[in-house]
Amino acid sequence: MTIDSRTHSETLTGPDGAAAAPAPAGGGFAGAVGAEWTKLWSIRTPYACLLVGVLLTAVFTFYYGSIARINDKPVQPLGNAPVSSVILGQFVVVVLAMTVVTSEYATGSVRTSLQWVPVRHRLHLAKAVVAAAVSFAAGVLFAVLGMAVARAPFRGHATFEPAKALSQTLAMGLYCALIAVLTVGVAFAVRTAVGTLSAVFGLSSALPTICTGLGGPVLLAVNDLLPQTAGGHFMLADGDAPYPPAAALLIVLAWVAAAHLTGRFVLRRRDG
């Protein structure tokens, strides 16, 4: 093997001294994403999560449409049914995204991942990208399925406008993707499945329930700044929100950025 000092590249040489093929280079960010994609689909968790998400969406949206008809609620967009189901369905995404990180810490295989991808922020970002891509597709699937299931039980209590339905479908996919990225950040910071699930559940569900249950202007204002509440305003895009959909999206993005940067900091601090 000879090394060209001018380019710092390695070249393999045969027995006769002739240059052979160059030494294989690292896969870079694309290789890291490909590795994470392969690892994710080599386990059963994503398949189970998607199946549970489909069942939850179907049951919840059918119930939502039936209640709207029985209680004679005002006519609303058909997409409101799957958007409301995100309150439960988002935890399917959380479990899926959490597994991308916590399963490796539980088995110790994270050491191998860090050897394959020694650049810490690249590994973190690759896991976040894979989790976000799968979660976006899952969110879109849940939205389409939810509208299809809810249409029959609504029986005239919902309107279907293609533009509105498309915007809510894409918004639901984007929200699920952002929740997945947030979960990956929390998982890198906490490192355990129980801790990650508890932290994300507390932020996304328990805290909004406490704020709205106790009431009061301060707690209700806090609730409006939480990711689940802001995400709901973003997906519904109705006139009842205290801020426009763009502001709601920025609030969710702020939470996601905070979680991502925290996870990246902990990863570099502990495994640097």
pLDDT at 119 over 50: yes
**Apex 256 CA angle, 172 and 132, nearest 5:** 50
Tens-digit pLDDT profile for residues 202-235: 999 999 999 999 989 999 999 999 999 999 999 9
What pLDDT is stored for residue 25 in this prediction? 53
**158 by DSSP, 3-state: which?**
strand
Question: Cα dihedral sign for 133, 136, 140, 143?
Answer: positive
pLDDT tens-digit map of 20-54: 555 445 578 999 999 999 999 999 999 999 999 99
Q: What is the DSSP letter of 159?
A: E
Burial code (b: 16+ CB inside 10 Å, e: under 16) for 217-255 equals eebeeebbebbbbbbbbbbbbeeebeeebeebbebbeeb
Write down the number of H helices and E strands in the chain: 11, 5
pLDDT of residue 68: 93
- Mean pLDDT over all residues of the chain? 89
Give the pLDDT of residue 2: 39
Is pLDDT of 11 > 50?
Answer: no
Verdict on whether the full-model pTM lies above 0.75: yes
Q: What is the pLDDT of residue 22?
A: 53
Task: Write out pLDDT tens, residues 59-111.
Answer: 999 999 999 999 988 999 999 999 999 988 999 999 999 999 999 999 999 99
At residue 241, the pLDDT reads: 84
Question: Is 182 exposed, middle or buried, given 0-12, 13-18 or 19+ CB atoms closer than 10 A?
Answer: buried
Alpha-carbon distance of 66 to 34, in angstroms, equals 43
